[in-house]
Chain A
Amino acid sequence: MNRGLLTFIAARVVQTAIVLLLMSLAVYLLIGLMPGDPVDLMIAGDPRLTPDDILRLRAVYGLDQPLWSRYIAWLGAALSGDLGASRLYARPVLDVMGPFFLNTCVLMSVSFALSVIVAVPLGVWAARRPGSIADRAANAFAFAGISMPVFWLGLVLIIVFSVLLSWLPASGTGRGGGGAFDAVRHLMLPVITLTIHETGVLLRYVRSAMIETLRQDFVRAIRAKGASAGWVLWRHALPNAMLPVITIVALSFGGLFSGALVTETIFAYPGMGRMIYDSVMGNDFNLALAGLLIATVLTLAANLAADLLYAWLDPRIRIGGAR
């Protein structure tokens, strides 16, 4: 690692922290502007509360303070590691979030890995002969994956595989007695939904990056030396084509996360998406805030990882210095 790279990393980390701070402010203000607060819900739930009780409750939750001072107080606590308690679950936010977060991570990482495994070879195969039947088929598949909304695809899969064929369960995780096999069965439909969408996006990028690379002179030069088609594709073209693809992959991570949120809602999968949705509906401010900020952190971290990977893969940084 050279000095320039370290400076670059430091600058990006600082940048990430600033974006995170601004995001927390924006999210906090948005949630604060939502109609109704926890006390309104309590009033609706318990008609015997007197106006005095209501004032006292607002003071307990700090809701009598103006929004900005509430934000400062929350930020101070958050920076010291205390994200507050969840109103719905009556437990610390981090404890509540743990299992939800884990479930989403499982869903996302499996879909992500599958989509890379499918999209990269398929994209390379399609790029070998642009315009061929193989290429057109791959393209049609990619466009279908991109164009079908995740919620629609999820519903269609439920209708086909759960309702009509009764092969796979339509909802839940299957954890809690069913064993590993049952858990996998429960994961299948959500994973397939997300994977089809993500594969479509990725396939397009791999294909166009490969076509671009295969047009270059150095590929022609290697072919003229007698290299086989496979040698050219895998040893020369793919490593060069992966540079832009990796950036896109990392940037699409945020999209994968939001896709996961939609997918979770459809399949009643207890992940971050469900948790954020429930906490917003239940005026559970602390939990909603933490959930949304985790989503932000993940997206920013993925972008940072993309930058670092790119810097690491860039031969101008990796091999040899200036002459």
Chain B
Amino acid sequence: MMDSPPILAAEYVTKRFRKDSGLFARGEDVTALDDVGIVLAAGETLALVGESGSGKSTLARVLMRLVRADDGRVLFRGTDIARLRGADLMAFRRAVQMVFQDPFASLNPRLSVGRIVAEPLAIHGIGDRAERRKRVAAALESVGLAAADAGRAPHAFSGGQRQRIAIARALIAEPEAIVLDEPMSALDVTVQRQILGLLNDLKVSHRLAYLFITHDLGVARALADRVAVMHRGHIVETGAAEAVFGSPVDPYTARLLAAIPVLGAGRRTGGAP
């Protein structure tokens, strides 16, 4: 598995944003990502942790080619995504899916659930009407919803159910990797656990790689094979989950571990699981 090029890799990625400040003053640049490198191999779950504002979401957007990096490059199976065109670009768009943080904002309110979930098939021209309906039903069932839910509108669903819909939309294209940008932070704690369980099951059944962005170390620990810690636009520490959580090298990671209350906080003192 390690021989073939990784699904996604960021190399020396830098991204600056210009802060708008007033009508005449030229805004200063804010560096959201500074020389960032990460690798996501097939089938693995990489947790990207860090406090809010550390650049996690910006990195996700750069990886998805939603935002262009100012410097460095992102490789999809070894090819720079900025150079992807036509069929190659569509292959990337199919193989790497994204689930957003706020399930109330990430679904078009004017479409039925069925059309929302079927959209990747429509975009990529996969299947006819009947085929798509069958696939939508399967995708909805695989995330714990009913096939009949396809006829409803997103507003009829709770936050957790909406996130399931968003996950079904990501699954339907049969991706190899899913970038999950804080997929549970908008949800209640009990719902978070259910989604966590669902993601864990899907990872195995669909052989998925996850780039799991979170500020919740408990969640990262429960799901991740490897962890990358981000601080002010830098990756300060990367390593196997047990190693990072058990004996953090970087002082920021240690502070993060000490500062954030995690799910099942009692277990944390016991060292590496």
| A213 closest partner in B (C-beta) | B108
Q: Which residue of A216, A218, A227 is within 8 Å of B123 (Cβ)?
A: A227
Q: What's the Cα separation between A239 and B109 when bound, in Å?
A: 10
Q: Which residue of B120, B151, B166 is within 8 Å of A226 (Cβ)?
A: B120
B106 x A226 contact (CB < 8 A): no
Query: Is B210 in the interface zone, CB < 8 Å from A?
Result: no
Query: Is A229 in the interface zone, CB < 8 Å from B?
Result: no
| B60 closest partner in A (C-beta) | A224
Knowing A221-B166, A222-B108, A227-B123, the reply to whether A315 touches B155 (Cβ < 8 A) is yes
Interface positions, chain B 190-216, Cβ under 8 Å from A, are none
Q: What's the Cα separation between A323 and B157 when bound, in Å?
A: 7
Query: Is B89 in the interface zone, CB < 8 Å from A?
Result: yes
Interface positions, chain B 70-120, Cβ under 8 Å from A, are 89-90, 92-94, 97-98, 100-102, 105-112, 119-120
Query: Is A319 in the interface zone, CB < 8 Å from B?
Result: yes
A316 to chain B: which residues have CB within 8 Å?
109, 153, 155
A320 x B151 contact (CB < 8 A): yes
How many A residues face the partner with a CB closer than 8 A? 23
Q: What's the Cα separation between A231 and B93 when bound, in Å?
A: 15
Contact with A along B130-159 (1 / 0, CB 8 A): 000000000000000000000111011100
A321 to chain B: which residues have CB within 8 Å?
156
A217 x B106 contact (CB < 8 A): yes
A221 x B106 contact (CB < 8 A): yes
How many B residues face the partner with a CB closer than 8 A? 34
Distance between A309 CB and nearest chain B CB, rounded to angstroms: 14
Query: Is A236 in the interface zone, CB < 8 Å from B?
Result: yes
B106 x A225 contact (CB < 8 A): no
Q: What's the Cα separation between A223 and B90 when bound, in Å?
A: 11
B89 x A218 contact (CB < 8 A): no
Distance between A219 CB and nearest chain B CB, rounded to angstroms: 8
Q: What's the Cα separation between A53 and B107 when bound, in Å?
A: 78
A236 x B66 contact (CB < 8 A): no
Q: What's the Cα separation between A81 and B235 when bound, in Å?
A: 80
Query: Is B124 in the interface zone, CB < 8 Å from A?
Result: yes
Contact with A along B16-50 (1 / 0, CB 8 A): 00000000000000000000000000000000000
Query: Is B171 in the interface zone, CB < 8 Å from A?
Result: no
Knowing A217-B100, A236-B108, A315-B109, the reply to whether A224 touches B93 (Cβ < 8 A) is yes
B152 x A315 contact (CB < 8 A): no
B107 to chain A: which residues have CB within 8 Å?
218, 221
A315 to chain B: which residues have CB within 8 Å?
109-111, 153, 155
Q: Which residue of B93, B111, B156 is within 8 Å of A225 (Cβ)?
A: B93
B110 to chain A: which residues have CB within 8 Å?
239-240, 315
Query: Is B64 in the interface zone, CB < 8 Å from A?
Result: yes
A225 x B109 contact (CB < 8 A): no
Knowing A217-B106, A240-B108, A315-B109, the reply to whether A225 touches B152 (Cβ < 8 A) is no
Q: What's the Cα separation between A223 and B67 when bound, in Å?
A: 11
Q: What's the Cα separation between A213 and B44 when bound, in Å?
A: 35
Query: Is B173 in the interface zone, CB < 8 Å from A?
Result: yes
B120 x A225 contact (CB < 8 A): yes
Knowing A224-B66, A225-B123, the reply to whether A319 touches B112 (Cβ < 8 A) is yes
Distance between A167 CB and nearest chain B CB, rounded to angstroms: 42
A323 x B156 contact (CB < 8 A): yes
| A316 closest partner in B (C-beta) | B155
Knowing A218-B107, A221-B100, A221-B106, the reply to whether A226 touches B156 (Cβ < 8 A) is no
B112 x A226 contact (CB < 8 A): no
| B93 closest partner in A (C-beta) | A226
Distance between A267 CB and nearest chain B CB, rounded to angstroms: 41
A323 to chain B: which residues have CB within 8 Å?
152, 156-157
- Please list 10 pairs of residues, one from A and one from B, whose beta carbons are closer than 8 Å in the complex, sorted by A's number: A217-B106, A218-B107, A220-B61, A220-B100, A221-B98, A222-B119, A240-B108, A315-B109, A320-B152, A320-B153
Give me 12 other A-B pairs in contact (C-beta within 8 A), A222-B108, A226-B120, A322-B156 excluded.
Answer: A217-B100, A217-B105, A217-B106, A221-B106, A222-B119, A225-B97, A226-B123, A226-B124, A236-B108, A319-B152, A320-B156, A323-B156
